[in-house]
Chain A
């Protein structure tokens, strides 16, 4: 065993091993964030063991140890992941097979297998992230894996600079093929259902709202949505991107129904929500939509989509809830683009009214607490005011003495009471929450809506950039004659928040907790915007390049998509490539370049060959000239002069003879003369 072992070991030199480990490290490094820690440790241990084997300090692990390792790894996976049919366990499984392969990395075959696995693992990274930095990293890892592959060829190839350069050169040459295929190869769409990336904490707006949630969001300048419009762009005060509707309040936390109280009116499940199928079937109004737009949403790890009121979407997988919002069939693990049309309010028939169940839902209040707010609501109701007048009263109160601030004082048990009657300082969530509470207390059906408001218009690329700090909460009240109407209590206190965005509304406090107040440096924020524009382009051209865009692009390139043009489009580069190859073969199979007189003399020989007189191998020019004289007496003198000029030019190094040879050849056409 030990002899065979040492022989196997000799098959994998140190350079090969190190390159394989480097490739594995490069591939695994970005995955370390979602791989369990023990797996990382196991990989390191396996690498260490294998290196120890290489240095002869340890034996290759025996059968028992390997069996134990496999058992441990499987047990570890089973304990870490309860669900098997998901993306992360699968990536972890690949990483485990990597690790286990390391401890039996003996032959060249094992090494190559490991590297093939590395290519695949490098690609799984893109399932998690499709941003530019990750794409660049992906390219880097492919270069490294290819270099590792080259390094398996021998010691010289394994030198770092050499392997790296070779790999980069080969991959650079592969790029044209990649571009062509990327544009041409049809996208079939999923062949079967695959596990989506379920991991990752949800970012942005969540399914419930308690004090402080939105303040937290206001600290993030990360992009949330990018919206392009096909047609008119809504004015700033109309840019309300609705995402979630909270109807249930437990005294502190607003949540969507079903999340807290178990009252399921519509759920996230496929069947649970009312109105889904029914309302979708409802014919669309005859009036056209007011806005048509495409939203590109950053991965939020939650299913909510964002749109203006009364949206419709034909994008696959997008559904509409009974609360007039859109959501996707699964949490968004990667950037997602969807088309939306939003209708103006008056184009829709006013609903028949709220059903008793819906009425009950939108008037729900916790059983206890916030007594003063309840009393105030009841009082407003007792004055016999209509819903709109009650709303105006509440807003008037907000307008009179309330302060809009990103750093409100903490609130206790009766949060609404404390905010309304003592602290009077708050953020959008406080205003929305207490507004809806009071309206419900006054008997007006109301709900909190969460989403984004505003956005920065990027004129160069013509899109609206909505960031996390644009997260906003507002309210909707039910008016029997008009249906659900948007009311934004924050606008009553800080109208500039709605008009100009958070940054101008809370200039002093804005992003104050950020590590570096980068947003205050104009140059840097411009740079940030530039970067976002690049990202947007990247997403538009590469990441979301689907069947539709593919057809559009081919249409633009080809004029029309017909089989002949398509064949030409694919065939032309292929033929060009083949021609190039052929020319190169021709050139490279030719021997070293002859000096000029020699080439001129060969031309003479070729012309003679055309009249049937081929110079024999070993025949000197003089002999050949005499043979020409014998066979074609009329060509004789000419051949004689050419030969002597050649000899002078070639051996006498006489430039005049070379010029003479050239001149003689110009007039030498044996086919014409011989006849």
Chain B
């Protein structure tokens, strides 16, 4: 391990503890002098070197104009951090929504940026490093609020608390950077990474349930109309009736065979927990795509068959929050 990595490992917890005290988590944070840090950038150090060289030039040539120029640049170096700071100060960040995601994908958070004072904010970069993030210019006096979306790669399922967001700006000359580590209390609900486990186990668990009910979709035989409910597939909406002035109906189909689909933990014996969850997740997506009503059986909990986004979300949430070694949820 390189020295810097070792150093970082020792330093990071200390830094985090200090930041927690100084910048506690909150869903809305207004940047001010207690939360912002300013330091010269690499270019800023280069600028200092130029000043030093100019001073040498002025000294050796006893040239006052060169001195004056060097001192002017010193003055610039003195006033710049104030401007860089002012550019970020007064910016408010508010978490709008932490969207769900699948592990191995990017989780996205919608954040509102708001000007609290008269000041404009230019070239503000908001990111979860090392991601590139988004660079925003709030430089229009008529625009108070701007919504942005930033993404974080998530690896593990569960409730994943996002790390601190870095808000940074090098405005106006790039010689100084002003930054903050903002904790907007972002927690992503991350579903397991879908991993295909073969075709849907249609009928595989049929023996276990003996309810005789019409499954809401899947067959070829038209069984009748029912009132449309949000979540019903649009493919099955009875458009002809709707065009005729009646309400929205969903056509119900029934197939002769039993199409109640149980996505069962026990079907995937012999695999480890995470793989099973990933496979179940893939099945859920497949079933949604095929519009086959599905239920979920996990050790200790059962979700009755259903279809639609609310159902899907319920099922996936169960998968996401399935305990690992007795612990609820997993962080990265």
Where the two chains meet, the residues of A that have a C-beta atom closer than 8 Å to any C-beta of B are: 112-113, 116, 119-120, 122-124, 126-127, 130, 134-135, 138, 142, 146, 149-150, 152-154, 156-157, 166, 170-171, 173-178, 181-182, 185, 187-192, 194, 334, 542-546, 581, 585, 588-589, 591-592
A120–B86 Cα gap in the complex (Å)?
29
Interface contact A187-B89, CB-CB below 8 Å: no
B206 within 8 A of A: no
- Which residues in A have their C-beta under 8 angstroms from that of B61? 127, 190, 194
Interface contact B69-A194, CB-CB below 8 Å: no
Q: Pick the contact of A170 from B65, B89, B123, B172 — CB < 8 Å?
A: B172
Interface contact A156-B122, CB-CB below 8 Å: yes
Interface contact B86-A588, CB-CB below 8 Å: yes
Chain B, interface size category, equals: 35 or more
Interface contact B122-A157, CB-CB below 8 Å: yes
Beta-carbon nearest neighbor of B139 in chain A: A156
B33 within 8 A of A: yes
With A122-B69, A156-B139 as known contacts, state yes or no: A112 contacts B46, CB within 8 Å: yes
Interface SS of B by simple majority: helix
A334–B173 Cα gap in the complex (Å)?
34
With A153-B123, A588-B90 as known contacts, state yes or no: A178 contacts B74, CB within 8 Å: yes
Interface contact B172-A182, CB-CB below 8 Å: no
Interface centre among A120, A156, A591 (most CB of B within 10 A): A120
With A116-B50, A138-B65, A190-B60 as known contacts, state yes or no: A153 contacts B173, CB within 8 Å: yes
Interface contact A542-B72, CB-CB below 8 Å: no
Interface contact B137-A154, CB-CB below 8 Å: yes
Beta-carbon nearest neighbor of B57 in chain A: A123
- Which residues in B have their C-beta under 8 angstroms from that of A113? 46
Interface contact A120-B53, CB-CB below 8 Å: yes
- Which residues in A have their C-beta under 8 angstroms from that of B74? 174, 177-178, 181
For the complex formed, measure the closest distance between the CB of B25 and the CB atoms of chain A, giving whole angstroms: 18
B82 within 8 A of A: yes
A130–B68 Cα gap in the complex (Å)?
12
- Which residues in A have their C-beta under 8 angstroms from that of B49? 116
Interface contact A191-B54, CB-CB below 8 Å: no
Interface SS of A by simple majority: helix
Beta-carbon nearest neighbor of A166 in chain B: B172
For the complex formed, measure the closest distance between the CB of A169 and the CB atoms of chain B, giving whole angstroms: 9
Contact pattern, B 35-57, Cβ under 8 Å of A = 1, otherwise 0: 00000000100110110011011
A123–B57 Cα gap in the complex (Å)?
9
B248 within 8 A of A: no
Interface contact B137-A177, CB-CB below 8 Å: no
A592–B115 Cα gap in the complex (Å)?
11
B12 within 8 A of A: no
Given A112-B174, A130-B64, 14 additional A-B pairs, CB 8 A: A113-B46, A126-B63, A130-B63, A142-B72, A150-B172, A153-B171, A156-B137, A174-B79, A175-B75, A178-B68, A178-B71, A581-B82, A588-B117, A589-B90
Q: Pick the contact of A127 from B47, B66, B83 — CB < 8 Å?
A: B66
For the complex formed, measure the closest distance between the CB of B183 and the CB atoms of chain A, giving whole angstroms: 20
- Which residues in B have their C-beta under 8 angstroms from that of A157? 122-123, 171-172
For the complex formed, measure the closest distance between the CB of A299 and the CB atoms of chain B, giving whole angstroms: 13
A127–B64 Cα gap in the complex (Å)?
10
A120–B58 Cα gap in the complex (Å)?
11
Interface centre among A138, A166, A171, A178 (most CB of B within 10 A): A178
A268–B171 Cα gap in the complex (Å)?
56
For the complex formed, measure the closest distance between the CB of A137 and the CB atoms of chain B, giving whole angstroms: 11
Q: Pick the contact of B43 from A112, A126, A154 — CB < 8 Å?
A: A112
For the complex formed, measure the closest distance between the CB of B46 and the CB atoms of chain A, giving whole angstroms: 5
- Which residues in A have their C-beta under 8 angstroms from that of B135? 154
Beta-carbon nearest neighbor of A122 in chain B: B69
- Which residues in B have their C-beta under 8 angstroms from that of A120? 50, 53-54, 57
- Which residues in A have their C-beta under 8 angstroms from that of B33? 585, 589
Interface contact B67-A182, CB-CB below 8 Å: yes
B62 within 8 A of A: yes
Beta-carbon nearest neighbor of A130 in chain B: B65
A181–B77 Cα gap in the complex (Å)?
13
B23 within 8 A of A: no
Beta-carbon nearest neighbor of A333 in chain B: B61
For the complex formed, measure the closest distance between the CB of A160 and the CB atoms of chain B, giving whole angstroms: 15
- Which residues in A have their C-beta under 8 angstroms from that of B5? none
Beta-carbon nearest neighbor of A194 in chain B: B60
Interface contact B50-A182, CB-CB below 8 Å: no
Q: Pick the contact of B71 from A119, A150, A177 — CB < 8 Å?
A: A177
Interface contact B123-A189, CB-CB below 8 Å: no
- Which residues in A have their C-beta under 8 angstroms from that of B70? 123
Interface contact B72-A178, CB-CB below 8 Å: yes
B288 within 8 A of A: no
Q: Which 5 residue pairs across A and B have the least CB separation, nearest first? A: A174-B75, A177-B75, A126-B65, A181-B71, A178-B71
Interface centre among A170, A542, A546, A581 (most CB of B within 10 A): A170
Beta-carbon nearest neighbor of B72 in chain A: A178
- Which residues in A have their C-beta under 8 angstroms from that of B57? 120, 123-124, 127
Interface centre among B33, B69, B83, B86 (most CB of A within 10 A): B69
Contact pattern, B 167-179, Cβ under 8 Å of A = 1, otherwise 0: 0001111110000
Interface contact A119-B50, CB-CB below 8 Å: yes
With A120-B54, A156-B139, A581-B82 as known contacts, state yes or no: A176 contacts B117, CB within 8 Å: no
Interface contact A588-B173, CB-CB below 8 Å: no
With A112-B174, A150-B173, A592-B117 as known contacts, state yes or no: A142 contacts B69, CB within 8 Å: yes
Beta-carbon nearest neighbor of B76 in chain A: A174
Contact pattern, B 157-174, Cβ under 8 Å of A = 1, otherwise 0: 000000000000011111
- Which residues in A have their C-beta under 8 angstroms from that of B1? none
B297 within 8 A of A: no
Interface contact B119-A588, CB-CB below 8 Å: yes
A564–B79 Cα gap in the complex (Å)?
26
Beta-carbon nearest neighbor of A177 in chain B: B75
Beta-carbon nearest neighbor of B68 in chain A: A182
- Which residues in B have their C-beta under 8 angstroms from that of A191? 56, 59-60
- Which residues in A have their C-beta under 8 angstroms from that of B80? 170
Beta-carbon nearest neighbor of A586 in chain B: B33
B285 within 8 A of A: no
A604–B135 Cα gap in the complex (Å)?
44
- Which residues in B have their C-beta under 8 angstroms from that of A181? 71, 74-75
- Which residues in B have their C-beta under 8 angstroms from that of A166? 172
A334–B83 Cα gap in the complex (Å)?
38
A119–B139 Cα gap in the complex (Å)?
29
Interface contact A187-B119, CB-CB below 8 Å: no
Q: Pick the contact of A189 from B62, B68, B139 — CB < 8 Å?
A: B62
Interface contact B50-A174, CB-CB below 8 Å: no
Q: Pick the contact of B76 from A135, A146, A187, A194 — CB < 8 Å?
A: A146
Q: Pick the contact of B65 from A171, A187, A543, A589 — CB < 8 Å?
A: A543
Beta-carbon nearest neighbor of B86 in chain A: A588
- Which residues in B have their C-beta under 8 angstroms from that of A127? 57, 61, 63, 66
Report 25 cross-chain contacts, Cβ distance below 8 Å, ordered by A residue. Answer: A116-B47, A120-B54, A123-B57, A123-B65, A130-B63, A154-B135, A154-B137, A156-B122, A170-B76, A171-B76, A174-B76, A175-B72, A178-B72, A178-B75, A181-B75, A182-B64, A185-B71, A187-B59, A188-B59, A191-B60, A334-B63, A543-B64, A544-B64, A545-B64, A589-B33
- Which residues in A have their C-beta under 8 angstroms from that of B72? 142, 171, 174-175, 178
- Which residues in B have their C-beta under 8 angstroms from that of A185? 67, 71
A187–B122 Cα gap in the complex (Å)?
40
For the complex formed, measure the closest distance between the CB of B98 and the CB atoms of chain A, giving whole angstroms: 25
Beta-carbon nearest neighbor of B119 in chain A: A588
A594–B40 Cα gap in the complex (Å)?
36
A142–B79 Cα gap in the complex (Å)?
16
A10–B103 Cα gap in the complex (Å)?
32
Interface centre among A135, A175, A177, A542 (most CB of B within 10 A): A177
Beta-carbon nearest neighbor of A152 in chain B: B174
For the complex formed, measure the closest distance between the CB of B143 and the CB atoms of chain A, giving whole angstroms: 13
With A127-B63, A591-B116 as known contacts, state yes or no: A182 contacts B173, CB within 8 Å: no
Interface contact A542-B64, CB-CB below 8 Å: yes
B73 within 8 A of A: yes
- Which residues in B have their C-beta under 8 angstroms from that of A543? 64-65
